[in-house]
A and B are shown apart, each in its own frame.
Chain A
């Protein structure tokens, strides 16, 4: 006798504890196995690109904060680079170093969230998440010192950063770097060789390098598949040509590799921060610019950075006015979602959540 079964369609999200916001994916299950996947986006669409056309070049910075709200600094940086490229200006060295420093701190914070939630989705009840959030909290405190805001920072401006550091920032940063070494070690000891974590993630949802490249995947997900492609190395911006760091590269592109690459990148970011602290020198932080910026009519610029999720690009087109004629945002989270189907098909419900977590999407950036 055979038991008759029928597939069951489930809407995972937009209200679900682990879809990183309001991501919705329609999944058809055969038992617990996934047979059909359809991502549905747009629940957080705010029209940032349209809004940018109505604001002047400096005001758009505040919009970029709200794209990937876990890595606002890096969004600021990407946009400012694009504007600088458009206007043909360059920030002073201290401004460059401050931007690099802030961006790397933000990358640490963002990767800590990614790792924490990744393990949370594996079912660890809060403990790793709290460990990572403990360190992230310190970074946000540092940001508060820099610019008065913790999440929506708007710290950077075309031509540098908007203010120099307060006097007590540097001792606080030193203290953080000192403490974070131990905290990171604690997290690594807890997670990197955790037997259950390995059993759950090794070999699950592998992503071959050629598929990753064909799907335009970028960031840690691409590097986990074995491609050492990092825009900080390939086309160094700000102060990245002055600092040394390595690119962690995975082997199989499975969930464990993606997790591992993030953990290693935190270490590398820490290295960069240390070098920035050692190399930074006093000086102006922002190039003198008119209050309202204007670019030449017909000027175009594609500014990109290696954000915590992948390649974040701003494509700006000018018509000579005070605001961008077109501001296209190339968001890594949206394009990394192209591989959803590849990652999920054939795996189980429990793996699905973990695979989505390992891609580390942020809905503010996916829907913009």
Chain B
């Protein structure tokens, strides 16, 4: 107890970790037998351990859920052998992958090759640090939360590029080149779409953004929601933007050469990435933990919203074919870019005219914005959708001039 009432004000538990009660509890318990600085360290590590395990377990659940869902979408069963509904399948997979030989290909840069899975998992874990799982439950409620999330999610592109380079494999190089091009391009509309969110919420802290959502932001800024989901699909390398690991073209892209535990970590990072991005979507656009009895049931609402996001990603993945790299670039720069700029301009104008004296927006203001923006979103998506259709379609040559149709045979032509 002596540490909490720390007279010198050093290493106090107050004010860190958002006043997390679990942190207080562990801190106080450990403080009975350990010095202050050690109990501070231990309680921090315990929280991190819990979070890391939660994310990795979450990734396992996502991988199982995705495979079950894909099974349902595709008229088949999906994993159903071990555990109820095959729920222990990820454990079996992990056991298999861990016991496999850990191969570093000939000519690979061993250090860089090994570092890649670690960087990828670390980036995902860092992303979870600022997510508010429930009211006031976040590892840290940074006041630059949005910026932090964007920064750590960009770490992945460095890891992917390293993987492609270090593998000494040409398919990996293709995958890395494609991935970096896609990731760098899609960063731009994603950031622009989030600017609108930050502007309306008036804060970059994820906790404040949730609190500001009297009306969920997917209604207030449907364009930003759309651009964010599309951009995040690209950043997660999921269809229709999965050129970086296009299985049918370049084997597995940047992680072609990875096997064993390294492959398991990359998979964990990918499914964890889906989890984190779904968490971000829930936080930024679906009002996070907000819901009936949010003080007690906030975690439940958050979880449900995260699952909505995951379901959306799986649904998209199981439905659409893949676009070509140049078409993906066209979609980014000629479709998502203008949309995010339109959203930004509209939000700037709306905030400028609707804000009250101290610069905040009332619920009514938000509803007005929602009304205007939904119409705007429909219109601009239709307009630019038609535009992009013309742009990405390869010019079809004129009907083959040398058609040699034999007369007198019943034939059905096209269209």
A127 x B318 contact (CB < 8 A): yes
Interchain nearest-CB distance for B80 vs A (Å): 16
Could you tell me which residues of chain B, from 368 to 414, have a CB within 8 Å of some CB in chain A?
Answer: 389, 392-397, 399-406, 409-414
Q: A203-B396, A248-B412, A249-B412 are in contact. Are A125 and B70 (CB under 8 A)?
A: yes
Give the complex CA separation of A257 and B250 in angstroms.
25
Q: Is B70 a contact of A126 with CB atoms below 8 Å?
A: yes
Contact of A209 among B170, B247, B403, B412 (CB under 8 A): B403
Interface centre among B389, B403, B410, B413 (most CB of A within 10 A): B403
User: When A122-B321, A209-B404 are in contact, do A10 and B411 touch as well, CB less than 8 Å?
Assistant: no
Q: Tell me if A54 is interfacial: C-beta within 8 Å of chain B.
A: no
Mask, A205-218, CB within 8 Å of B = 1, is 01011100100000
Is there contact, CB below 8 Å, between B247 and A17? yes
Shortest Cβ distance from residue A22 to the other chain B in the assembled complex, whole angstroms:
15
Q: Are A134 and B75 in contact (CB under 8 A)?
A: yes
Q: Which residues of B contact A131 (CB under 8 A)?
A: 74-75
Q: Please encode chain B, from 335 to 348, with 1 for each CB lying within 8 Å of some chain A CB and 0 for all others.
A: 00000000000000
**Interfacial chain B residues near A120, Cβ < 8 Å:** 248
Q: How many residues of B contact A (CB 8 A)?
A: 51
Given known A119-B321, A350-B249, contact A196–B74 (CB-CB < 8 A): no
Stretch at the interface among A35-43, A59-67, A223-231: A223-231
Determine whether B76 belongs to the interface, using a CB cutoff of 8 Å to chain A.
yes
With A123-B246, A123-B321 as known contacts, state yes or no: A10 contacts B399, CB within 8 Å: no
When chains A and B are docked, how far (Å) is the Cα of A122 from the Cα of B243?
A: 11
Is residue A18 within 8 Å, beta carbon to beta carbon, of the partner chain? yes
In the complex, whether B296 has a CB less than 8 A from a CB of chain A is no
Stretch at the interface among B200-208, B323-331, B354-362: B323-331
Q: Contact: B321 with A208, CB < 8 Å?
A: no
Q: Select from chain A the residue with minimum beta-carbon distance to B171.
A: A10
Are A227 and B404 in touch, CB under 8 angstroms?
Answer: yes
Given contacts A130-B76, A250-B414, A350-B325, contact A198 B318 (CB under 8 A): no
Q: Name the interface residues of A72-124: CB closer than 8 Å to any CB of B.
A: 119-124
Does B106 belong to the interface (CB within 8 Å)?
A: no
Verify if A254 is at the interface (C-beta below 8 Å from B): yes
- In the bound complex, CA of A149 to CA of B324 (Å): 41
Q: Is A32 interfacial (CB 8 A cutoff)?
A: yes
For the complex formed, measure the closest distance between the CB of A105 and the CB atoms of chain B, giving whole angstroms. Answer: 20
Q: Look across to chain A and name the residue whose beta carbon is closest to the beta carbon of B323.
A: A196
Within the complex, the shortest CB–CB distance from B16 to chain A, in Å, comes to: 43
CA distance A227 to B170 in the complex (A): 39
> Max chain B CB contacts within 10 Å: which of A125, A200, A246, A257?
A125
The chain A residue sitting closest to B240, CB to CB, is A196
- The verdict on A146 contacting chain B, using a C-beta distance below 8 Å, is no
- Beta-carbon contact of A246 and B412 below 8 Å: yes
Report if A138 contacts B (CB, 8 A). no
Return chain A residues, CB-CB under 8 Å to B389.
195, 199
| Across-interface contacts of B73 in A (CB, < 8 A) | 127
Q: Which residue of A lies closest to B413 (CB)?
A: A249
> Is B334's CB within 8 Å of the partner chain A?
no
B321 → chain A closest CB, angstroms: 4
Does any Cβ of A come within 8 Å of B135's Cβ? no
19 other contacts beyond A203-B396, A260-B414, with CB at 8 A cut-off?
A: A8-B173, A17-B247, A17-B248, A120-B248, A123-B322, A124-B322, A130-B74, A131-B74, A199-B394, A203-B394, A203-B397, A209-B400, A228-B405, A244-B410, A247-B411, A249-B412, A252-B396, A349-B249, A350-B246
A to B CB contacts below 8 Å, 26 in the list: A10-B171, A18-B248, A119-B321, A122-B248, A123-B321, A123-B322, A126-B70, A126-B74, A134-B75, A196-B240, A197-B321, A198-B393, A199-B392, A199-B394, A206-B396, A209-B400, A226-B399, A226-B400, A226-B402, A226-B405, A247-B411, A249-B411, A251-B399, A349-B249, A350-B325, A353-B248
